[in-house]
Amino acid sequence: MEYDVAIVGAGPAGSSAALEAAKGGTSVIVLEEHPEVGLPVQCGEGLTLCEMKRAAFSPASSWVLHRSPGSALVVPDGRKIITGEPVYSIDRAAFDRDLMDMAERKGAVLKTGHRVISVAARDGKWVLGVRSGGMDSSLSVGILIGADGPISLVGRSLGAYKGRRTVVGVGYRVSHADVEDLYHFFFSSRWPDGYAWIFPRGDSYNIGVATSSRNALSLLREFAGMHGIRIDGRFTSGVIPAGFDMNFYSKVMGGAGSMLAGDSAGLTHPITYGGIYPAIMSGRMAGRLAAVAISEGIPSILKYDRMLRNSDFYFRNPHRVNEAIYSFSDDDFNLLADIADGRSLSDISPLPTALRLLTTGNIAVLRRLFRVRKALSGLQC
């Protein structure tokens, strides 16, 4: 069978794209390299209330496990900066399967255990080399959507990347953690370019570390030990985008159109590295444009770059926001708690804070603080 659209990857970006493209009347195939959608889980498994509302998801969905009233940003001296934006813990595997099930009900075709090994433009089509069960085959389509994660073969084959900054996330699930019912983010120079976390999940907790260090697992064990937790079972790990420098997000080559969505496009929050919401929303955009392009012409997909840049999850210079907070020293982090004085960072009054930092000579901290404040305020409605 021939297909209008091929989507590589069946995570939230790929499944969302498949659903929208299929709803638009196109024939869609989704190629997923793993044998089962949603596994392995490589995620902290959280969506804020604001993200749930913007994505039009119901808190009563079967994949919602727990609702926490907010988050705590924990600085090195142990003090907490509380945010009041509720966070929903989700069963990521069930969530991914639910999205893909909806796409299949609209007519999308899913092929698990199918790994794309090559991408080339030929005669106005994308020609994909596909490996499954030790056998190689090829597939030709007019539109290709890359949703194959931060090490995207599609993105690399298209020449989409000027540069990619990534961190490694290592996680572990435990039955108990001695913390409040909040999403805890632990900031410290202990974990370069990242943070440690403890996220409540209902009857269990996700703990982990995101860092640029090559010793991520050792740092996780160290963090777990600080909280009386022993890592003696199976852990998860994965690469997380931490600011991609992109040549483009969509491309037309020889009459064939392509788009990148989710982690493949580096679309994560530059502080929390949360990527579920950007994956869903960018996937939806790509799927809708794919359907439009089939009826109105392939060049229609070139609207995608502008749509992304105008979205509520897009950061024009993510590396600057990332560097703003992760260049803080431990003393700088502790100073944030002094300034917050029990308030959320998004509630800090600019003028009094600026005057305080200027009088103490902390001009660099001032500049970085307001960049961080703006980024965190975007997580709230």
Give the CATH number, domain containing residue 202. Answer: 3.30.9.10
Is residue 133 exposed (0-12), middle (13-18) or buried (19+ Cβ within 10 Å)? Answer: exposed
Same domain, 141 and 258: yes
pLDDT on residue 90: 93
Reduce the DSSP state of residue 63 to 3 states and report it: coil
Tens of pLDDT, residue by residue over 87-139, are: 999 999 999 999 999 999 999 999 999 999 999 999 889 999 999 998 999 99
Average pLDDT over residues 52-76: 90
Mark whether 183 and 225 lie in a shared domain. yes
Mean local confidence (pLDDT), 255-273: 92
> What is the four-CA torsion angle of 218, 222, 228, 233, rounded to 10 degrees?
0
Does the pLDDT at position 4 exceed 50? yes
Which of 27-31, 314-318, 353-357 shows the lowest per-residue confidence on average (mean pLDDT)? 353-357
- Residue 351, pLDDT score: 46
Task: Name the residue with higher pLDDT: 373 or 333.
Answer: 333
- Residue 259 forms part of a structural domain: yes
The Cα 183–Cα 272 span in angstroms is 11
**Same domain as 133, residue 207:** no
Residues 17 and 117 in one domain: yes
- Last residue of one domain, picked from the residues 277, 309, 341: 309
Q: What is the mean pLDDT of residues 298-326?
A: 85
Cα dihedral value 71, 76, 80, 81, nearest 10 = -70
Q: 357 with 214, same domain?
A: no
pLDDT at 263 over 60: yes
> Does 50 map to a domain?
no
Cα gap 246→316, rounded to integer Å: 11
Percentage of the residues of the chain whose pLDDT score is greater than 70: 89
Confidence of residue 335 (pLDDT cuts 50, 70, 90): confident
Contacts of 165 (CB under 8 A, 6+ apart): 241, 242, 243, 244, 319, 322
Burial class (CB in 10 A: 0-12, 13-18, 19+), 213: middle
pLDDT reported for residue 358: 46
**Domain range holding 218?**
165-241
**Rounded to an integer, what distance in angstroms lies between the CA atom of residue 192 and that of residue 190?**
6
Structurally, the chain folds into a number of domains equal to 3
Percentages helix, strand, coil for the chain, rounded to the nearest 5? Answer: 35, 30, 35
- Band the pLDDT of 356: cuts 50, 70, 90: low
More confidently predicted of 259 and 331: 259
Pairing, β 71-74 against β 183-186: parallel
Question: In this model, does residue 49 exceed pLDDT 70?
Answer: yes
- In this structure, the answer to whether residues 149 and 113 fall within a common structural domain is yes
User: What is the per-residue pLDDT for 279?
Assistant: 96
How many CB atoms are located within 10 Å of the residue 183 CB?
Answer: 27
Domain shared by 174 and 216, yes or no:
yes
Residue 70 belongs to some domain of the structure = no
> Do 266 and 244 touch, CB atoms closer than 8 A?
yes
Averaged pLDDT of the chain = 87
